[in-house]
A and B are shown apart, each in its own frame.
Chain A
Amino acid sequence: MSGTFLAAPYQQRALLAIVILGVVAAVVGVHVVLRRMAFVADAMSHTVLPGVVVANLLGGPLYAGALVAGVTTAMLLGFPARARRIGEDAAVAIVLTSFFALGVAIVSRGRSFATDLTGFLFGSLLTVDADDLLLMGIVGGVAIVAMVVFHKELVLRAFDREAAEAIGLPIARLDLLVDLAVALVIVTALRAVGTLLAVAFVITPAATARRLGLAVVPSMLVAAAIAALCGTVGLAIAHEAGMRADVRVAPGATVVVLLTSVFLVVAVVAWWRDRVRSA
């Protein structure tokens, strides 16, 4: 291990991975937060597990397995509520728990159950390689392009569903698009921070930007900047903890703790600002 933060190529790749994930998750996350659909991101972070596990068992690419499971989840969640005859929350809960249980059941067949499961759920930021970065860029790029191309329609749908319907926008397809974009973010996050922590990248920076009261596009830029900043600081903390105190700290989890800390600080400041304004 090098003595200087970012001196080693693996650290540089880790930082690049966090920045890519932060930008992709920010663009998608702002739409998720606007739609108040955080539970879909949470569900998606669990439901990709069986796809990853099956891909691992078959010796195939984990990304492909996660993508298949994520797309399947998006399609199931997009199945019209009227046809499902149950509420969206119940549908999400059923899909989430059944897919996650399936993933755990499959992975538990292996001898390295605990290690494999931990790797899938929490990733391994410092072992991200160049191929991972390329895939993250491609998958994340697709998600960003989709969000940019349909930006105005997605914002209208989030703001006023009835008006969007009234001018003929295909609501179900727009909802499916956001769900698929969330699936792509989870796939992007897979190797770096794992499926579970990915949801923090989708929701927390976007929620922080929302609490700042920013408009839609500035929210995306600020959310991406927060993720990149927390990524850099989190990696530095994990590195320094290892070098100076010989304490092993998971860098991905450290970044998520920082994201949450920033959110809490912003929430308190915004609360105080609102109180002063209303006084």
Chain B
Amino acid sequence: MSVLELDDVTVAFDGHEVLCGISGRVEEGQAVALIGPNGAGKSTLIRAVLGLVPVREGRIRVLEQDPADARRHVGYVPQYSRLDPEFPVTALQVVLMGRYRSVGWLRRPGRADRARALEALASVGLADRAKDRFGTLSGGQRQRVLFARALAQDAALLVLDEPFNGVDTTTQEDLVALLAAERARGVAVLLSTHDLDVARHACDETCLLNRRQFAFGPTAKVLEDDLLLAAFAGGVHLVGDEVVGIGAPHHHLHGRHDPTDPHG
């Protein structure tokens, strides 16, 4: 049984098509990267997988259910920078939120939920920061907390939206290692990223998209120059292995970025 099935998916807002022709499968223990320029529809696809936007054509199945029915089994990790650092919650309280779906309405998280949350917090290396205010943590630590929240949900599918934006290298490496550990337990992963290196190291498959699907398959094959150039409308600006922009066709791939280029 596939954890996630995308079957010729088309998503539209207000009658305008924003994403079309997305097809692919994510199996147990498999990780798939979503790669594409800004505005390509990566976040839209993630929202569709979470059941938050309707699919106009085609079909999305999560554990053979409609996405809205499978939310209990999907752990979502947003970017830490989208959250209010002044919000008065501790790291542990944030992680406990991952238990809310299983706790259900009208009930409070119990001891077992608290123990699971502490365990998840320990697994991201922040056991000693449980009582610290979320906003007092560094950006990388906040991203770890949000990762722990998804772990505490004991999900079958982890969905991560640009989880490495603005985090330090150590945190990125630790989270990639944690993803590998989760995959070893059979958890499937869908993550959007600008970092081709992350896709290469953390994901066996990649979905390359820009309003439509350019490729879905083994990462090494998908992240070839010609496909990337096609998806990024003719040019890709890289800093190291991170896509930082798109431009005219004379720009090139793989470290051929000119730091003095104002478009780069």
Contact = CB atoms under 8 A, between A and B. Distances in A.
B220 interface: no
A265 B72 CA distance: 46
Nearest to A219: B88
Contacts of A215: 88-90
B101 A34 contact: no
A162 B87 contact: no
Interface of B: 50-52, 68, 71-72, 74, 76, 78, 82-84, 87-90, 94, 97, 100-101, 103, 105-106, 108-109, 133, 149, 153, 159
Interface of A: 34, 149-150, 152-153, 155-156, 158-160, 162-163, 165-168, 210, 213-216, 219
A69 B78 CA distance: 38
Given A34-B87, A153-B105, A215-B89, A162 B100 contact: no
Contact of A162 (B82, B88, B109): B82
A166 B87 contact: no
13 contacts: A152-B103, A159-B83, A159-B87, A159-B94, A160-B97, A165-B50, A165-B52, A166-B52, A166-B71, A166-B76, A167-B101, A167-B153, A168-B68
A158 B89 CA distance: 11
A45 to B, nearest CB: 25
Nearest to A82: B14
B71 A167 contact: yes
Interface centre among B52, B72, B133 (most CB of A within 10 A): B52
Contacts of A155: 89
B1 to A, nearest CB: 22
A122 B101 CA distance: 44
Contacts of B149: 163
Given A159-B83, A159-B89, 20 more contacts: A34-B88, A152-B97, A152-B103, A152-B109, A156-B100, A158-B87, A159-B84, A160-B97, A162-B82, A163-B76, A165-B52, A166-B52, A166-B74, A167-B72, A167-B101, A168-B51, A210-B88, A214-B88, A215-B90, A216-B89
Contacts of B82: 160, 162
Contacts of B109: 152
A163 B76 CA distance: 7
Contacts, number: 61
Prevailing SS type, chain A contact patch: helix
A51 B252 CA distance: 67
Nearest to A214: B88
A53 to B, nearest CB: 38
Q: Which 6 A-B pairs have the closest CB atoms?
A: A166-B76, A167-B101, A168-B71, A166-B50, A215-B88, A156-B97
A156 B105 CA distance: 13
A119 to B, nearest CB: 38
A167 B76 CA distance: 8
A90 B87 CA distance: 26
Contacts of B153: 167
Contacts of B72: 167-168
Contacts of A213: 88, 133
A167 B100 contact: yes
Given A149-B106, A168-B68, A162 B90 contact: no
A153 B96 CA distance: 12
Nearest to B70: A168
Contacts of A214: 88
A162 B68 contact: no
A153, A159, A215 — most chain B CB neighbours (10 Å): A159
